[in-house]
Amino acid sequence: MAWTEWHHKVLPTTDEEAKISCSLQAPDSQARAQSWSLSLDHFTKNPAIETRGGLELALFIEVGNLGFHLEDWRHIGRQEIVATADWHSRTEHIGPYGRVSNTWLSVGTMEHDHGTGKLQRHEWRADYFRITFSPPTGYLFPLELEAWLINEKDFHTGRPLRGAEIRSIPEGPPNLRVISLARFRRGNITIGNGHPDPIATARQRLAQSIRLDEFGEMSVRWWAETERSNKNKELPVPPGELRRSDVSFQTP
Amino acid sequence: MLRYRGYEWALVHGESLFEVHLGHPGSKHPEPMWWLRMQFIAVGAEWRRCSNLDRPHFFVEISNFDVKPGDWRHLAEVDYWNKEVSGSWLDDSEEPNSGWFRASFYSSYRADHERVDSDFGDANWRVVRMDGPLVTIELSGDTEEGNQIIGTPEMAATAPGAAGAEEPRDTGGHEVYLLETIPFGLVTATVPRNARDPLAYAELLARRQLKTPAADHLRLRDHKDHHNEAIRGDLYVDLHLFGYQGT
């Protein structure tokens, strides 16, 4: 269930759930050990529109970096984000491949233009938003979200914020409000060298790091094998020297 | 932690690492050649509406310093802190060589950026700790001498942090001081073109010369794709260690 108010207009309620996912780094990585993200799609349909299944408006809401570090995944239900300047300072970090993690909330929209019949696409960003999670039922967390979005073109200043701009908080009501359920659904964990059974290692590490011990589908991607298969090179892995791998997992 | 020009800096993972080039026994440079590369980017709440491209970057490089041969773990013994005499890769001195120290500051990656390049020559630096592949180094220097501003005076004056900018930043002088932890992350092995399996040859070369572990990721480079004269030249294999695949 997702109740959404977009630019002060309440959209029809949908059955969509928000998705929470996490990424855990290998112990020898210098990047932050955990990275959590949130996404929610909201589709509004209009029977009068004959194309694209009657799509009137689609919202793709995403927070790529929630800034959590949790000892238990159930503690998502205790988290409240108020994206002040201090929160941005605490949350910003460099990812394992050298990119600054974005701390903004983004919304991509596709809207039916009744004049031309075409889809209009827009991007919105908010660096001030509030998100509250509540204790879960199973893997579902009640979620409330408010954001003060501006057009992406106006959002990127190309220069550092100055003086009062750094701590400024937008006035007036938010132009995005969401009440929904968010499911902790999937994740990814990087396993270091020398683990013959990455899935077993992943299960162990997930139990230790976020107390997750029930799993749906899990799969492995070996790093070096992928590169070699791309180049049609075959080199047997020396005995006892197993490569790094990524394990993808889903919750039940 | 980096202190330079008054910015709050974050180390860029992946791009910051110790790197070594290995030659095969028949190559022009069979001895290992070591590099240290570090990259920093300005962070903090004031930059939250700026992409990576709009933020100041700072690069540090030390090239061709000496490490006791035979094992990459000898990095733990590197100490060029306040050493009055050190050799240079330009002379035949028997003294250990502390390397050639360079630093570059970019106010942004955009076309109108300010850029300052500094060549200091000898570096004042040391390894203070080593925990597996992670090496903590301490380094001090000064960008006052030998620097070269690339760009127009107008660019420099309006760059964030410049004296003429709208809100001048406390630049904190020209001194550089850093205490950071970076991995031993990359071995580039030179491989004869006629090697039956260049990847296996590269891994064997690295294991014999430096006792490296199995690489996480390997990349074969053949320069003959770009240079006709390289058609009889060597191949290069990048062995990425401890988690970084390269970009």
For A71-110, what is each residue's pLDDT tens digit? Answer: 999 999 999 999 999 999 999 998 877 788 888 999 999 9
Q: What is the per-residue pLDDT for B166?
A: 44
State the average pLDDT for chain A: 89
Rounded Cα gap, residues B35 and B247, in angstroms = 18
Question: 3-state class of B214 per DSSP?
Answer: coil
Tell me whether B11 touches chain A (CB under 8 Å).
yes
Tens digits of residue pLDDT in A226-248: 444 444 444 444 444 456 788 99
What is the bridge-based pairing of β-strands B17-22 and B175-191?
A: parallel
CA dihedral B211, B217, B222, B223 (to 10 degrees): -90
Render A188-249 in DSSP notation, one character per residue. Answer: EEEE-TT-S-HHHHHHHHHHHHH-----S-EEEEEHHHHHHHHTT---PPPTT-PPPEEEEE
pTM for the full predicted model: 0.82
Tell me whether residue B233 is exposed, middle or buried, using C-beta atoms within 10 angstroms of its C-beta: 0 to 12, 13 to 18, 19 or more. middle
CB-nearest to A160 from B47, B217, B218 is B47
pLDDT of residue B245: 52
> What local confidence, expressed as pLDDT, does residue B96 receive?
77
Between positions 180 and 239 of B, the ones with CB within 8 A of A are 181-183, 197, 199-200, 213-220
Separation between Cα atoms, residue A126 and residue A18, nearest integer Å: 18
- Quote ipTM for the complex: 0.81
How many CB atoms neighbour CB B26 within 10 A? 9
What would the pLDDT profile of A131-179 be if each residue is shown by its tens digit?
999 999 999 999 999 999 999 999 998 889 988 899 988 999 999 999 9
- In the DSSP assignment, the letter for residue B242 is T
* Interior/surface letters B159-195, b for 16+ CB within 10 angstroms, e for the rest: bbbbeebeeebeeeebebebebebbbbbbbbbbeeeb
Phi-psi region of B15 (alpha: psi -120 to 50; beta: other; left: phi over 0): alpha
For A109-126, what is the mean pLDDT? 93
Amino acid identity, residue B167?
Answer: E
Are B211 and A241 in contact by the 8 Å Cβ rule? The answer is: no
Give pLDDT, residue A232.
40
* Cβ pair B174, B142 in contact under 8 A: yes
- Token digits of residue B77: 């013994």
* Test the B interface: residue of A32, A154, A221, A227 with most B CBs within 10 Å: A227
Name which of A82, A233, A237, A244 to mutate to probe chain B: the one with the most chain B Cβ atoms within 10 A of its Cβ.
A244
Q: What is the DSSP letter of B204?
A: H
What percentage of chain A has pLDDT greater than the value 90?
Answer: 67
Rounded Cα–Cα distance for residues B25 and B191 (Å): 10
A196 touches chain B (CB under 8 A): no
CB atoms near residue B154 (< 10 Å)? 11
- A18: pLDDT strictly greater than 90: yes
Evaluate if residue A116 carries a pLDDT over 70. Answer: yes
From A193, which residue of chain B is nearest by alpha-carbon distance?
Answer: B216
Task: State which residues of chain B have pLDDT below 70.
Answer: 84-94, 120-122, 143-173, 224-232, 243-247
Burial label for A24, CB within 10 Å (0-12, 13-18, 19+), is buried
Collect all residues of chain B within an 8 Å Cβ-Cβ radius of residue A245. none
Rounded to whole angstroms, the Cα distance separating A157 from A162 reads 11
- Residue located via tokens 């809100």: B167
For B52, which of A100, A103, A161 is closest by C-beta distance?
Answer: A100
Cα–Cα distance for residue pair A154/A206, rounded to 1 Å: 41
